[in-house]
Amino acid sequence: MLRVEKFAVRNVHDIRGIRSLSLPFEIRQKSRFRSILEDGTELAIFLPRGSKLTDGDLLEADDGTLIRVVAAPEQLLYVTAPASLALTRAAYHLGNRHTPVEIGDGFLKLANDPVLREMLQGLGMQLREVQLPFQPESGAYSQGHSHHSDAGGERELAQELFHTHYGSRHSSDAPTSEHHNKDEPRPPGHS
């Protein structure tokens, strides 16, 4: 049985000889588990607590074997809408429920859940059941292992934008309504 305790730290240009480990999203969220490689070899994963695997991650077994993580196809809902605002509204409601969602250009993907399906249909979304790999957003403030930069450094960008807008003040230092700039537009109902 192979034992994996770390992510590969070397750059690999030749992917021949790298073995594959196909896993669904739920298992990729765990840092300790047993599985079987696509070639039938058993392995035990013992990554640092809080580690999460993403599609394309490269692991290194104790014997030097390199293993590429592959997001396994899963039963998902593929969500589209007639207008981008409607899809944005659906994403808001899913996020409000802390639902793992993969966001794409003009679509959302999420686990096939009957309650969420009903909610999305009520919002006028177009839904299809699909069998595809699932790589939901990790969240701008997610904690956990990150051994490579996420897609374009999204977490760092989100934090930079937050601190640019709000500064690094504590909540007690936050501006109150009397500090509001009178030239800025205010939401309806605020004076």
Domains of the chain: 2-71 (2.60.260.20), 73-133 (3.30.70.790)
User: CA 111, CA 133: separation in Å to the nearest integer?
Assistant: 11
| 29 has pLDDT over 60 | yes
Instruction: Report percent pLDDT > 70 for the chain.
Output: 69
- 155-173 pLDDT, tens per residue? 566 666 666 666 654 444 4
Mean pLDDT over residues 6-18, rounded?
Answer: 75
The angle that helices 114-122 and 84-96 make with each other, rounded to 10 degrees, is 140
Give 19's Cβ-side CA count (13 Å radius): 18
Band the pLDDT of 138: cuts 50, 70, 90: confident
Tokens describing residue 64? 């030097």
Tell me the DSSP string of the chain. Answer: -EEEEEE--S-----TT-EEEEE-HHHHT-SEEEEE-TTS-EEEEEPPTT----TT-EEEETTS-EEEEEEPEEEEEEEE-SSHHHHHHHHHHHHHTT---EEETTEEEEE--HHHHHHHHHTT-EEEEEEEE------TT--S--SS--GGGHHHHHHHHHHHHHTT--GGGS--GGG--TTS---TT--
pLDDT of residue 126: 98
Band the pLDDT of 53: cuts 50, 70, 90: very high
Band the pLDDT of 132: cuts 50, 70, 90: very high
What is the residue whose two structure tokens read 């109902």?
Answer: 189
pLDDT of residue 25: 96
| 90 has pLDDT over 90 | yes
pLDDT of residue 38: 87
Q: Is 27 exposed, middle or buried (0-12, 13-18, 19+ CB in 10 A)?
A: middle
| Stronger pLDDT, 45 or 165, i.e. the higher one | 45
pLDDT of residue 17: 76
Band the pLDDT of 175: cuts 50, 70, 90: very low
Band the pLDDT of 184: cuts 50, 70, 90: very low
Give every CB contact of residue 89 below 8 A, 6+ residues apart in sequence: 123
